[in-house]
Structures are given as structure tokens and as C-alpha cells.
Amino acid sequence: MKKDSIIIVTGAAGFIGSYMVGYLNEQGYTELIIVDDFNDPEKEPNYKSKQFIAKVERADLFNWLKTNDPKPDFVFHLGARTDTTEFDYSIHEKLNVEYSKQIWNYCTEKNIPLVYASSAATYGGGELGYKDDHDILNKLKPLNPYGISKNEFDKWALKESEKSKVKSQKCEPPNWYGLKFFNVYGPNEYHKARMASVIFHSFNQIQRIGKVKLFKSHKEGYKDGEQLRDFIYVKDVVAVCFWMMQNQPASGLYNLGTGTARTFNDLVKAIYSALDKEPVIEYIDTPADIREKYQYFTEADMNKLKTAGYSKGFYSLEQGVKDYVKNFLITQKIY
């Protein structure tokens, strides 16, 4: 993709979207159209120093595109309603399903390659494993409305793709990638409140009260703090997104984690290590409103991405946490 390519990034005021914009700028791409709900002043630091050619309100995007016809070369659709504690499905459906369909249809009509954010939340309790296999989509049982909305769009995207193959009619972008993000952490999540990463909250607890509170285990076979997640540093997430744009392998759904599950105890110890302090951990009950929907294990099967040609390694939990704590959290630096 040439440096003067026009690229749309949705969710550009948010966590991963703003990091994507910064990364693109760093690689020499400045002809960016950034899209989001820009009414939240807490998000402003995420984009105010970035380089772009247009800032478009999320609700105005499709009218703006029709009026201005900017002829984009690529779209990163990273905007979504990400609140896993929001149980009104209609909210997730509007933003994560219907809006995403509009993005997809625009890319199809204009022949623009697309990367969009799916989620590991689509895998639910992991009964069917964590393999990015298209054949299991209809069997997946996400644990919350957010995960359901992401899975519903993935299923719709695959149906549209199949239409293109079976009916020889244009129903999909020329290349498209639904990336199933696992537990992403890193700079520019300062505004996310309850939905910020455990690393962010743990760091702030250490600063405020000198200890970290982790959820007790309410499931047999897991000790307190030994719940497992595939934590991936946002630097790796955007590197993969960028690689997809540059290399455009076979279209489809791809996992985006490290492929290695780690415990919350490991995570907290990594934070304390980055701060040169001894760990102090207190275990508390998991909130009742999420207890029955809580994942105890996630680990991305990364074979598909590797087979597609992605050969770069990922930050280990210790490496990512150290970089995040020392270079961003301590100073509240924005990337």
C-alpha cells in the first residue's frame, strides 16, 4: 500500500483505533479519514496530535462518504460498542452488527479491502476450543450480548462471502479480515473506565492502595487468581492489522492473540516486577452480574495466521507489561 493511500479508521478516538492511527502515521501514512463519536472529551488526547485529512462523526460517515467521495484504498473498522457488561442487545446490534454491515457493503460496492474487529468473546466458554475455524461459527455460544453481536456479524460476513462464490455476484470486499482480538492491553485505554484492561486497573490499585484485588475463583479446578487469559499487547495487534493491509492473504476470520494463556497472578507479578516492588494480592468475589458469564480460560490457536505468512513474534506478558508500565502508565503518556 503506497504512503499516499487514503485509509479510513473507525474507532479512531478509542483504544485500539487511536493506536492504529498513530502506528500508520509512524509508517508514513497521513492521508487518513478518522471516524468516531468525538463528543467524549476524555478521548481527545488519543487523536489530537495525530495526522489525518478528515475527522468524521460516526453517525455522519455514510452521508459524508457519499458527498465527498474520497476514494479510500483501505478500511480499518475498529469502532464498536465494547462494554461486556451492557446487557441490552439492541445497543450492540446497532453498532456492532448493523453499522458493520454498512461498512462491509460500502467496501464491497467501492472494491475496498477491509480489516474489522471481531472478538474472542465469540468463543463463549470455550467448549469448542479457540480455533478460528469458519465451520464452528453456528455452534458457538457467546456468554454476553457483546460476544453475540460479534459472532452474528461474523456469521453474516461469511454468508455474504459464500454468496459471492456460489452465485458469482459481488457480495464481499475484494479482501476482508475479521480479527478475533483476545485480551488486548496497552496505551490509549485511559478513558475506558471499567472496560480498561486488568493491567491498567491493577497498576492504579498499586499506586492508590498498595495492593491488587483479583477475582476469586468460583469454578472447581481453578485456584484464586489462576484464571487464564491470552493477553496481547496492542503493539502486536496493530502490527498484525498493518501486515494484513500490506500482504492481503486469504480472506476470512483470524485469531489475534499470542497463542499462550497466562494467569492473572502472572500478570500482577509482571506489573510489580516492572515497578521493582514485591507483589501484594487480595482476592475478592467476582461481581454477581458477571459471575455466570465469566471466562476462565482463553488461548488463541494462531496456526491460521502463521500459515498465512505472519512470522513476527509477539511480546511476552512480561515484556509487554514492562513496556506499558515504564513507558506509558507511569507518565500517563499517549501513543
Q: Which residues participate in catalysis according to the annotation?
A: 146, 192
Name residue, grid cell 483479583.
214
Cα distances from 135 to residues 130, 160, 280, in angstroms, run 12, 15, 44
C-alpha cell, 132? 478460528
Under the phi-then-psi rule, with left for phi > 0, alpha for psi from -120 to 50, and beta for the rest, what region is 71? left
Q: Which of 290, 140, 174, 181 minimizes the C-alpha distance to 227?
A: 290
Distance CA 22, CA 125 (A): 34
HEC string of the chain? CCCCCCEEEECCCCHHHHHHHHHHHHCCCCCEEEEECCCCHHHHHHCCCCCCCEEEEHHHHHHHHHHHCCCCCEEEECCCCCCCCCCCHHHHHHHHHHHHHHHHHHHHHHCCCEEEEEEHHHHCCCCCCCCCCHHHHHHCCCCCHHHHHHHHHHHHHHHHHHHHHHHCCCCCCCCEEEEEECEEECCCCCCCHHHCCHHHHHHHHHHHHCCEEEECCCCCCCCCCCCEECEEEHHHHHHHHHHHHHHCCCCEEEEECCCCCEEHHHHHHHHHHHCCCCCCEEEECCCHHHHCCCCCCCCCCCHHHHHHCCCCCCCCHHHHHHHHHHHHHCCCCCC
